[in-house]
Structure 1
């Protein structure tokens, strides 16, 4: 049985509504999905307990908070072994500028989405943090000119 078989149409609607606005109260949800507030509360608690809802967070304005650049950085490791990959993963986890990090197949080992305040901060990040790390062989950076779509909501 897949995880999706554990949730029904009401659960999907609750998840979709909370993705759009996590501040909805159980009363708000109950009106929108046509269930009682207590039923919505139980369903939300179950969805949280079963891991369908991993948490709640505010979406902050990157620009208003001074992070003017979004950068896509590809990284190739110096050697391809488990210890080197673990050292790189530990580095990435400590860097708050890294918004996303993905291991890849193909020519590059990792792709990072990194926010910086400006070009100087990007240069310091690449030249002062990534390149000196003993696990890193090559770094290639691209600055995002325009974001056409940025969405974290799943297509429920």
Structure 2
């Protein structure tokens, strides 16, 4: 199954670590939503969207990227990293997928080191994450959703 994972990862690179682990497991193509590359998601069977959680939601750049490029009737999945709580997380992406007739095949989330805002004052949250166990769970999730 031809798979793309569209992601945004900065601060500590937590999300990038997770999507790279997935891509190595199943040879997925990684698409950084910040680059202005030509994107042809219609060529993929399965499309993932990934980011850290900001204010209990996926980064707005990932949601806007999905709004612009997500084709109709695709399999989709969501990946997030978070310091505290996942919150409503993929709510906006799920609504968009439903509008496009896409099938949500899964969602993966794990802790990620977070020093945003006031968390910096206490040395951050979720130190040491994602760790080897988190990345192994990410690989297993990816294997499961991309089996045909």
TM-score range, shorter chain: under 0.3
- TM-score normalised by length of structure 2: 0.24
* More strand by percentage: 2
**Which has the greater radius of gyration?**
1
